Amino acid sequence: MTEFATLLVADRGQKARPIHLVDKESFASWLKKRPAEDRVLLEAQRFDGKKAHAFAILPRGSEFEVVSAVKNAAALSPWCLAALAEKLPEGDYRLAHGEPGKAALGWLLAQHRFDSYRSKKDEVAGPRMLVTTEAARIDEMVRLAEATALVRDLVNTPAADLGPAELEQAVAELAKKSSAQIDVTTGAELAEGYPLIAAVGAAATPDRAPRLIELEWGKPGDPRVAIVGKGVCFDTGGLDLKGAAGMRIMKKDMGGAAHALALAGLIIGSRLPVRLHLLIPAVENAVSGNAYRPGDVVKSRKGLFVEIDNTDAEGRLILADALTKAAEAKPELIVDFATLTGAARVALGPDLPATFVNRDDLAAEIESAAREVDDPLWRMPLWDAYDENLKSDVADLANAPNNSMAGAVYAALFLKRFVPTEIAWAHLDTWAWKDPAKPGRPKGGEALGLRAIFALLEGRYTPS
Ligand code: BES
Ligand code: ZN
Ligand code: ZN
């Protein structure tokens, strides 16, 4: 993992190359104050301050200064320094005016590489940013970058190397680091206590056996918060097998689990005063003679009988049992992350996690936290009238609707059946993936909605 802490360091007045940030509005007045030769240098580099992420180099003897265009120099976005950090050579840099603030995140993440599977590694040390921000803020920014990088790495790791056991290993590492308690349910106990998780994971047994991974951390008296993440290490669709195109990136179907684990790491790292309960149902949705079938009926942990209409709607099944378990401890808040439906992408595109919340005030809090940290998401309705589409001919409900509309809403309504109304609950149907790439965000695994929910929790629960 990239050593982010070495790339964002305290400014003690050491020698550093200045970075000037300009935008469409401020460029002309900035240029007026510069030495005359700068105009020529900028013209030669075709830099006009208009195209965000463009930058130019201004030689100063044996050293140089940098000027870069951003969308709004008065309100820096997290990604406005990312293109610079990707291209500048090693050395110390500082902003000529002001502090990077949020933009430090893009500076750090632009320097993260997922290169475990490249024989030639990029060994070059990257550019360092000097900041006068207090040490605690630097630490938090580094933790946010680490959490995002963890999501990217877990999602990008091929399914062959990241099955339910490896996901358990990743949770165990956090437990060890933070003296949290980890508990894993498998085998007969899983079949008895979590029949839906066992059913989905049946085809991958015994090699890549399903399990429920739980971690508990925090003081018993603090408010209980449960974080749940869909951990489908590979989604073939099961007997309702996906086609080649649909299956191609399904190594990312544990993206929800990666978000949940990274969020747990942030909560613990910031020592938020909560009693944290992390739950990750980890399975592989595979194909074999003992696979669960369309038409099977499984009695869930909650007692509701679920008819399997489609084995490719597996995420909601494993989450149903995990949400039931989470609710048993009566937390004041449950948040789940899941790469649950293709329909969420059709509705909102790749950038916006479809967010379902059973309380208007909580939804407003989440939306404002998301805006504050530039980690966008969009609220979608838990439209009760559609609930009748989850009817089954033989059981209490079916796992897929009898029509192909509003798929993300149906999936959320299915989950809602397993969350008691008295518990505040938010469900993020996230893509956990970036495509196409943007500065600081290569194509592949990505954290979407992670920082928003962490900001929500930080706002609600302040360390004393
Ligand atoms: N993991 C997929 C959802 C998915 C697909 C997320 C593509 C991101 C990109 C999920 O398990 C799934 O297959 N859902 C089905 C549900 C349907 C069978 C009711 C879907 O979205 O098509
Ligand atoms: Zn599926
Ligand atoms: Zn899936």
The pTM of this model reads 0.98
CA-proximal residue: ligand 1, atom 22 (nearest): 342
Residue 253 is predicted with a pLDDT of 98
Identify which of 234, 312, 348 to mutate to test ligand 1's pocket (most ligand atoms within 8 A of the CB): 312
The rounded distance, in Å, linking the Cα atoms of 94 and 81 is 11
The rounded distance, in Å, linking the Cα atoms of 96 and 105 is 18
State the amino acid at position 351 in one-letter form. D
Tokens 């938090």, residue? 140
Residue 123 is predicted with a pLDDT of 73
Identify which of 341, 352, 403, 433 to mutate to test ligand 1's pocket (most ligand atoms within 8 A of the CB): 341
Residues annotated as catalytic are 242, 316
The rounded distance, in Å, linking the Cα atoms of 129 and 138 is 11
Residue 1 is predicted with a pLDDT of 66
Tell me if 253 CB under 6 Å of ligand 1. Answer: yes
Closest atom of ligand 1 to CA, residue 431: 8
CA of 315 to the centre of ligand 3 (A): 5
Residue 463 is predicted with a pLDDT of 80
Closest atom of ligand 1 to CA, residue 340: 3
**Mean pLDDT of residues grouped by 10 in the chain (464 residues)?**
92 97 96 95 96 95 97 97 97 97 98 94 87 95 98 98 98 97 98 98 97 98 98 98 98 99 98 98 98 98 98 98 99 98 97 98 98 98 96 98 93 98 98 97 98 98 85
Q: Which ligand is nearest to the CA of 399?
A: 1
Alpha helices in 49-103 (DSSP H): 82-87
Q: Which ligand is nearest to the CA of 236?
A: 2
326 DSSP 8-state letter:
H
Residue 464 is predicted with a pLDDT of 73
Query: Closest Cα to residue 316, out of 193, 247, 398, 424?
Result: 398
Please give all residues whose CB falls under 5 A of ion ligand 3, grouped by chain where several chains appear.
232, 235, 253, 315
- The answer to whether the beta carbons of residues 354 and 347 sit under 8 Å apart is yes
Residue 403 is predicted with a pLDDT of 86
H or E element at residue 246? helix 244-247
CA of 215 to the centre of ligand 1 (A): 27
